[in-house]
Amino acid sequence: MARKISFINYKGGVGKTSLIINTAACLAKMGKRILLCDLDTQSNASIWLLRLERWNLLNSSGSRSIYSIFDPANNIKVSDCLVKDVLKGKEGESLLPGLDLVPTTFDLVELENEYKGEKPGYVLFQEQLAEVEDQYDFILFDCPPNILRASQCGVFSSSEIYVPANPDALSLIGFTLLVEKLHKFHQVSAGFRQSGMSPMAQVHGIVFNAIKSGVDIDVPKMRMQLRMNQFRNQKRVSSSAKIFNTQVRDATVVRRSVTLGLPVILLGKESNETDGVGGDYMQLASEMINHVSPT
Ligand SMILES: Nc1ncnc2c1ncn2[C@@H]1O[C@H](COP(=O)(O)OP(=O)(O)OP(=O)(O)O)[C@@H](O)[C@H]1O
Ligand SMILES: [Mg+2]
């Protein structure tokens, strides 16, 4: 069964998209079959992986992106939206087999206003995702910094939640707010869970990102750990929730990789896979593989 993981924090700009793309690429390189679902109407992950030209075509056509499954004018399912082996070279050759994308476009914002389906959007999404699930080892959801309808699709379908964070007070506040909002959403959506679905997803891990060299993050890390312990005692996060041992360093190449439309590990020497940020992402991917919940 695929492990389904939402990357989310109520704080924006902490590195959700860059972590999800770079770890997805590492997992694919390790031979795992990966589906990345872009649930953020900003479309950052989709533009990064498809590059602007291919994404523009999708955005102007208005079909086969995630919003099309909610648009009654279409008869499109999640399985119709899969972009197989999304990373392509100049000649259309596959650069990283095993990394597929469900892309989004700017019209996903309409889900928050226009959608009036018979069942909640997250139920429709989960049912359709279940049809393709057995093709993958990991399904990863890139969420915006909220739990509105688009994020709800990822959270409802997920078995685990990972929280990217920076070593600052605002990330801690974002984590706290996230746990509260998750609790409320689980209460509202509980009646829609069917037998055979995994239990409602709780926070399983926090990943510190963009850590500057020479900066001591012991204090913010300790604060995050204390908050996590409190939530664990209240059973509001998974019993196996932890701060990941791997932290991802701050590196200019991460910002450059967006411009180049590639994950860091495909940048060759520049990614510095052994002792640079490319190595951090590989280590994080390994830690994800080994971090399996007892529940
Ligand atoms: N390890 C890193 N080193 C340097 N820059 C980074 C690193 N991680 C992320 N960034 C940069 O920080 C910015 C925010 O990252 P990203 O878009 O991944 O955050 P996000 O949490 O997805 O944001 P949003 O809430 O808008 O979706 C981007 O410019 C990204 O390139
Ligand atoms: Mg993002």
Q: How many helices (H) and strands (E) does the chain have?
A: 9, 7
Distance, in Å, from the CA atom of 246 to the CA atom of 285, rounded to the nearest integer, reads 9
d(CA 186, CA 203): 13
Per-residue pLDDT at 106: 95
Indicate the pLDDT class of residue 271, thresholds 50, 70 and 90: low
- Ligand 1 pocket check: which of 7, 175, 254 to mutate, most ligand atoms within 8 Å of Cβ? 254
Give the ligand whose atoms come closest to the C-alpha of residue 211.
1
pLDDT at 293 over 90: no
Q: What is the mean pLDDT of residues 189-210?
A: 94
Contacts 24+ apart (CB under 8 A), 261-265: 261/48, 261/49, 261/50, 261/51, 261/52, 262/87, 262/95, 263/21, 263/22, 263/24, 263/25, 263/26, 263/87, 263/96, 264/22, 264/25, 265/22, 265/25, 265/26, 265/29
**DSSP for 198-226?**
PPPPEEEEEEE--BPTT---HHHHHHHHH
Which ligand lies nearest the alpha carbon of 9?
A: 1
pLDDT of residue 272: 58
Interval 227-254 mean pLDDT: 95
**Report field, pTM of the whole predicted structure over 0.85:** yes
Joined together, the tokens standing for residue 43 give: 């479309």
| Mutation to probe ligand 1, out of 8, 9, 18, 271 (largest number of atoms < 8 A from CB) | 18
**Count of positions (residues) in the chain:** 295
Ligand minimally distant from the alpha carbon of residue 13: 1
Evaluate: CB of 209 within 6 angstroms of ligand 1.
Answer: yes
Alpha-carbon gap, residue 273 to 264, rounded angstroms: 9
Q: Is the CB of 84 under 6 A from ligand 1?
A: no
Closest Cα to atom 25 of ligand 1: 12
pLDDT at 207 (0 to 100):
98
In the reported structure, the alpha carbon of residue 74 is separated from the centroid of ligand 1 by a whole-number distance in angstroms of 33
Q: What distance in Å separates the CA atoms of residue 207 and residue 110, rounded to the nearest whole number? A: 31
How many CB atoms within 10 Å of residue 234? Answer: 10
Please tell me the residue having the least CA distance from ligand 1 atom 14.
Answer: 13
Tell me, in angstroms, the distance from the centre of ligand 2 to residue 282's CA.
20
Return the domain boundaries, the chain. Answer: 3-290
pLDDT digit string (tens) for 81-132? 999 999 999 899 999 999 999 999 999 999 998 888 889 999 999 999 999 9
For residue 258 and ligand 1, the question of a CB distance below 6 A is answered with yes
Ligand 1 pocket, residue 256 CB under 6 Å = no
- For residue 138, name the pLDDT band (cuts at 50, 70, 90): very high
Round to whole Å and give the CA distance between 178 and 6: 12
Answer for the pair 7, 246: CB distance below 8 angstroms, yes or no: no
Over range 222-233, report the average pLDDT. Answer: 96
**% residues pLDDT > 70 (the chain):** 97
Answer whether 117 contacts ligand 1 (Cβ < 6 A): no
Answer whether residue 43 shows pLDDT above 60: yes
Residue 10 buriedness (CB in 10 A; 0-12 / 13-18 / 19+):
buried
Give residue 145's pLDDT. Answer: 96
Q: Which ligand 1 atom is at minimum distance from the Cα of 249?
A: 1
Fold of 3-290: Rossmann fold (3.40.50)
**Residue 56: what pLDDT?**
96
* Pick from 95-104, 159-168, 193-202: least confident: 193-202
CA 133 to chain centre: 16
Extended beta strands in 47-178, E state: 99-102, 138-142, 160-165
Instruction: Give yes or no for a contact between 179 and 228, defined as CB atoms under 8 angstroms apart.
Output: no
184-188, 247-251, 272-276, 290-294: segment of lowest average pLDDT: 272-276
Whether residue 215 is predicted with pLDDT greater than 70 in this model: the reply is yes
- What's the average model confidence in pLDDT over 198-208? 95
Ligand nearest to the CA of 255: 1
Per-residue model confidence (pLDDT) at position 116: 85
